[in-house]
Structure 1
Amino acid sequence: MAAPGTATSLPASGRRERTGWYFYDWANSAFQTTVITVFLGPFLTTVTEIAAGCPLGTDDCTGRVHPLGITVAAGSFYPYVVSLSVLLTVFVLPIMGAVADRAPRKKPLLAAAAFTGAAATIGMAFVTGDRYWLGGLLFLIANISFGAAIVVYNSFLPLLAAPDDRDKVSSRGWAIGYLGGGLLLAANLVAVMLLSVDGDDQRTLDLARFCIVSAGVWWAVFTLVPLRRLREHPSAAATTERGNVLTDGFTQLGHTIRGIRAYPLTLFFLLAYLVYNDGIQTVITLASQYGTEELDLGQSTLIITILIVQFLAFGGALLLGALATRIGARRTVLLSLVLWLVVVVAAFWLPAGQPVPFMLLGALIGVVLGGSQALSRSMFSQLIPAGKEGEYYGFYEISDRGTSWLGPLLFGLIFQLTDSYRIGIVSLVVFFVAGGILLALVPLRRAITAAGNTPPRLL
C-alpha cells in the first residue's frame, strides 16, 4: 500500500498553488532559451578567443587557452565546459531527488538551487575582457543549480495533481515555460536589433552579456511566485524519519539503484533514450555557436530561429502525437530520429552568411523536437513499475533539458583535431544512429509486461 502523500494519494491543492508551480517553469525557461540556446555559446567563445590572442571580430581563430594548465582550442572551450557541467550534474540530480523526497520542507531546497543559479547567471556581467575562466566557472554553477532546481520542482507534481490530472498539469507547466522563455527571448531580440551597430563587435558582445544577465534577473524574480504560493507537503518518510536528510538521501539513492536492476529491459530503453537524446540536446545547445562561428550569422538571426523552434515545438508535438495513434509511439520516435539525421547532415551543407536556410532548418528542428521528447516520456512511463514514478524519472531527467555531455565532448574533440565546426556537427549522427538501433532492439511489449503494466494496442 502507498503511504500518505505519495503519488497515489489525491493531493489537496488548489488553482492558486498550481499556478505558483507553473510559474517556476516560466522563471527557469529563460535560462534554457536565452542563455544556453542562444547567447552563451557565441559569447563565451568570443571571450575565449580574445584570451587566446585573437582580436575581436577575427574569423577562424585557431588560438589556444590553458585553463588549469590544459591546452584547449578556443572554439572547444565552451563545449568542454558544457560537457563537464553535465557530467557533474549526473551525480547531483539523483542525490538531489533523494534528498528532496526525504526533506520535510522542499521550498528551501528549491529556493537555494534557483537563486544560486540565477546569481551565477547575473554574475556573467563581470565576464569582461579575457575572463573566459570566470565565465566557464559561473556557467558550471548555473547549469548544475538549474538541474538541481528542476528535480525539486518536478517532485511537487505528484503532490499537486491526482494521477488522472497529472498530464494536464504538467503540460500547462511546459506551455507556460515555453511562453515565458519565448517572451524574454523576443524582448532580447528587439534589444539586439535596436541597439546593435554594424561593425561594432564590442557593442554586440556587451549586448549578449546583458541579455544573459536579464535571464538571471528573470529567473530570480519569477521564482518568488512559486515560493510564495506553493505549500509544503511532507512525505511519509520525511515526517517519520529523524535521521540526517543528506545521508538518508544517499541511502535511498542506493536502494533505488539496486532496485532498478530488477528491470533490465527498462534500463535498456533508458540507455537508448540517453544516447539519442544526448544528440538532440547537443544540437540544441551548440546550434548558436555553430551559427555564429561557422555560418557567420548575427545574433538576431539566431534569436528568430530559436523563436521559430520554440513555437513550432508545440505543433510538432501534436503532429507526431497524432501520428503515434496510427503507427505507434516507437515507430514515430524512430521516424523523428531519421529527421534528426536529416537535420545534422543538412547543417553540414548550410551556406555561410545566409540566414534563410538556417531558419528553415530551425523549423524542421521545431517540428521534431516536441514530438521526440513527448513520445519518449510517454513510452518510458509504460516501463515504470507502479509506485516508482518519482525515483525512475529522477534518472530519466539526467538527459533532459540540455544535460548532454557526450555530444559536446565529441564536438569539442572533433573541432580541436580538425578546426572544423562542420565536421563537429555532422559527427553527431552517431548518436541518432546508435540510439535508433538501440530503441528498435528494445522488446517493448515484453518490457512493459515485465514492469507489471498492460501494453497499449500500438507500440
Structure 2
Amino acid sequence: MGTDTVRADAADGPEDAEGAADRRREQRGWYFYDWACSVYSTSVLTVFLGPYLTSVAESAADADGFVHPLGIPVRAGSFFAYAVSLSVIVAVLAMPLVGAAADRTGRKKPLLAAAAYTGAAATTAMFLLGGDRYLLGGVLLVVANAAQSVATMLYNSYLPQIAPPEERDAVSSRGWAFGYAAGSLVLIANLVVYTAHDSFGLGEGAAVRICLASAGLWWGAFALIPLRRLRDRRAPAREAAVPGFRQLAATVRELRRTPLTLAFLLAYLVYNDGIQTVISQASVYGSEELDLGQSTLIVAVLLVQVLAVAGALGMGRLARTYGAKRTILGSLAAWTVILAAGYFLPAGAPAWFFVLAAGIGLVLGGSQALSRSLFSHLVPAGKEAEYFSAYELSDRGMSWLGPLLFGLTYQLTGSYRDAILSLVLFFVLGFALLARVPVRRAVEDAGNAAPGRI
C-alpha cells in the first residue's frame, strides 16, 4: 500500500497523456476491489451461508423448531434473515462516521484496508461453523456483512474521483462485470469441491465450510491490488471534526442542501432493498420451498454470474443511448415480472429455476452499476465519501427491511412463496419514486456538469 496523495482537484482542467495513463491505471486497480469482494456476496451470502446456517440453526432448535438467541424465540428458518437485518443496522451506525472521517482526512485507503480485512477475516473464520454453532455463525455474518458495507462505501466514493462524468457509466459497469466474472470463477471451483467432496475425503458440511472460508481468503488476497493502485486525495480545509453521532446529523443536514439527491436516494433505498433481499434469500427459497439441491443452486447462481457480466455491460451501452435513468426504470419493470413469476415456480423443477436465474442475471448487474454511476453525478465535489456513506445507507442501510419482511412473512405464514411475493412491493414503489426525480436538474443542483445522456 502506498502513501501517495494527490490534490483533490487533480482531475480538473486539461489532462496530458501521462495523466490519462495514470487515471486508467487507477481505474483498473479500482475494478479489482469488485473482483475481490464480490466473491463474498456470491459464494457466501447468496449460495452457501443461508442454507447452511439455517441447517445449523435447525439442528440447535427445540421441538417446536425455535432457537433462543439471548432468550428470544426465533424460528430456525428465520434466523439467517434476522442476522442479515442486524448486520445492516450495525453498518448503518458505522458508515456515516467512517465516511465523514475519510472526507475530512483524505485518507480513504487505511480505512478501506481495515474494513476489507475485518470482513475477510470474519468470512475465513466461517470455516469454524458446524454442529449447533448457529450463534457463532450469526456473529460472523454480522461482522463480515457490516465490514463489507463500510468497505464498499469507501470503494464507491472513489468513482467520481477516478472517472470524468462521460466515463462513469462505463467504468461502473466494468467494475460490476469484474465482480461477476470473479464470482463465476470461484463458483466453478466451489461446484467442483461441493459435488466431488467424497472424492476429496470431505463430508458435505466440511466442503461447505471450505467454500465459505475460501471466499474470505480470495477477498483478502485480491484487495491488495486496489490498495496499491488507488490514491488518496488531499482533503480541502474543513472545520474541526464533529465527534460521535453528531456527524450523522451533520451528514443528514448536508444532504438536505441537495434535496433532489435525497429524492434519488429514497427511490434507490426502496428498490435496492428488494434487490438485496432477493440476493440474500434466493438460495433459501430454492432449497426450502422448491426442494432444490445445493448443486442445482450453485449452477443457478453461476448462471446468474455469467449473464450478469453481459447484462452489466449491455445495460451500460443502453444507458449511452437512452440514459441511465430510463435504463434503470426498465430494469425495475423486469425485476417485478421476474419476482412475480418466481411465486409460481413448481417445486422440484430445476429447469424453470434456471430460466428465472437467467432473467435475474440479465438485469442484476446493470441495475446496480447504473445506480452507482448515476448517483456519482449527484455528489458535490469534496463530499464523495460522506455522500457515498449515505448511498451505502440506502444500499445496505434499509436493506434490513426486506429480509425482515421476508422473515416475518415466513414466520407468520410458514410459506416462502408468500415471503418472495411480498418483495414485489419494493420494485413497484421504487419505480414510482425514481420516475419522479428530475436527474439532470439534480446534477446541476449538486454543482456538476451533466453528461449528454443521463
Q: Identify the TM-score tier after normalising by the shorter chain.
A: 0.7 to 0.9
> 5+ unaligned residues in a row in structure 1: which ranges?
55-61
Equivalent residue in structure 1 for 2:310, among 312, 315, 322: 315
**AA partner of residue 37 (structure 1):** T
Picking from 311, 325, 345, the partner of 1:350 is 345
* TM-score for the superposition, normalised by structure 2: 0.86
Aligned partner of residue 343 in structure 2, secondary structure: helix
What is the SS of the residue equivalent to 1:400?
A: helix
Q: 1:175 to 1:330 in 2, by over 3 A?
A: closer
1:314 deviation in Å? Answer: 2.8
Structure 1 residue aligned with 2:219: 219
Distance 1:355 1:301 in 2: 7
- Structure 1 residues 157 and 430: alpha-carbon distance in aligned structure 2, compared to 1, 3 A threshold: closer
- What secondary structure is seen at the aligned counterpart in 2 of 1:192? helix
Query: Could you tell me whether the CA contact under 8 Å between 1:281 and 1:403 is conserved in 2?
Result: no
Hey, what does 1:95 align to over in structure 2?
A: 97
**Letter in structure 2 aligned against 1:217:** L
Match of 1:58 in 2: none
Rounded Cα–Cα distance in structure 2 between residues aligned with 1:454 and 1:426? 40
1: CA distance, partners of 2:324 / 2:165: 21
Report the CA distance between 1:171 and its aligned residue.
4.3
Q: Structure 1 CA distance, aligned partners of 2:156 and 2:348?
A: 41
Whole-Å Cα distance in 2 between the matches of residues 105 and 380 of structure 1?
A: 22
CA distance in structure 2 between the partners assigned to 1:94 and 1:329 by the alignment: 26
Whether 1:5 and 2:4 are equivalent positions in the alignment is no
2:31 paired with 1:27: no
Asked if the contact 1:327–1:458 (Cα under 8 Å) also holds between the matched residues in 2, the reply is yes
Instruction: Report if the CA contact (8 A) 2:109-2:232 is conserved.
Output: no
- 1:39-438 paired onto structure 2 within 5 Å: 39-53=48-62, 63-103=65-105, 105-157=107-159, 160=162, 169-195=171-197, 203-227=203-227, 229-230=228-229, 233-237=232-236, 247=242, 254-324=249-319, 328-385=323-380, 388-400=383-395, 404-438=399-433
C-alpha spacing 1:338/1:162, structure 2 compared with 1 (3 Å) = closer
CA distance in 1, matches of 2:416, 2:9: 48
Tell me, in whole angstroms, the C-alpha distance in 2 between the residues paired with 1:162 and 1:234: 16
How high is the TM-score relative to the length of structure 1?
0.85
Task: Give per-residue Cα distances to partners, 1:359-387, cap 9 Å, x unaligned.
Answer: 11000011111232233334434544455
Structure 1 residues 405-414 or 118-127, which shifts more? 118-127
Shift of 1:212: 0.5
Deviations 1:384-440 (A, max 9, x none): 445544432331122437972110000000111111111111111111122122223
CA RMSD of aligned residues (A): 3.2
Return closer, same or farther for 1:448/1:115 CA change in 2, 3 Å cut-off: closer
Contact 2:184 2:305 in 1 (8 A): yes
Alignment CA distance shift 1:367-1:7 (3 Å): farther
CA offsets, 1:212-268, max 9 Å, x none? 0111121122233444x236535234xx67977xx5686665443212112223212
Preserved CA contact (<8 Å) 1:273 1:439 = yes
Change (3 A) 1:425 1:166: closer
Take 2:163 and 2:143, find their aligned partners in 1: how far apart are those partners?
31
- How many residues get paired? 442
CA contact (8 A) 2:409 2:415 kept: yes
